[in-house]
Amino acid sequence: MLYLWLKALHIVSMVCWFAGLFYLPRLFVYHAQSEDSISKERFSVMERKLYRGIMGPAMIATLVFGIWLLSLNASAYFTQGGWMHAKLTLVVLLIGYHHMCGAQLKRFARGENTRSHVFYRWFNEVPVLVLLAIVILVVVRPF
């Protein structure tokens, strides 16, 4: 029963984390398009609250519950094929993306953004592709 509770909590925290990963770059799009100081300040506050208040805690919870799940049955996960290795590699890349978002948030807050809204529209697609790959790896287990 513990395993199922951990799995449920892992999925819920992952959904919260991805909600932030989808929304923060969208805020960057709007922030890059804004021209007045009131809008820029508003977006900086929204970005900071999303990153620190939702995304950070959700990422930590996702990792804690995921590691806990792994610890309960690590040998089975790593001997059934390479899908878990691939998933964990994508999770590491996603953590890097998360921190790239944090660095960009700081650039916006300092008024040092040099990228256009078009860049952020493409940047916003990265977590979609990673989520698609992770779900396929976990459900289909292709290798």
pTM to 2 decimals? Answer: 0.94
Q: Is 87 annotated as a binding residue?
A: yes
CB 2 within 8 A of CB 107: no
pLDDT score, position 99: 98
Q: Is 40 annotated as a binding residue?
A: no
Exposed, middle or buried, 141 (CB in 10 Å: 0-12/13-18/19+)? Answer: middle
φ, ψ dihedrals at 62, nearest 5°? -60, -45
pLDDT digits (tens, 9 = 90+) for 78-126: 887 899 999 999 999 999 999 999 999 999 999 999 999 999 999 999 9
Nearest to 124, CA basis, from 30, 25, 43: 25
Nearest to 68, CA basis, from 127, 141, 112, 10: 10
pLDDT digits (tens, 9 = 90+) for 17-43: 999 999 999 999 999 999 999 999 999
Which residue type is seen at 28? F
Angle (nearest 5°) at CA 96 between 58 and 2 = 35
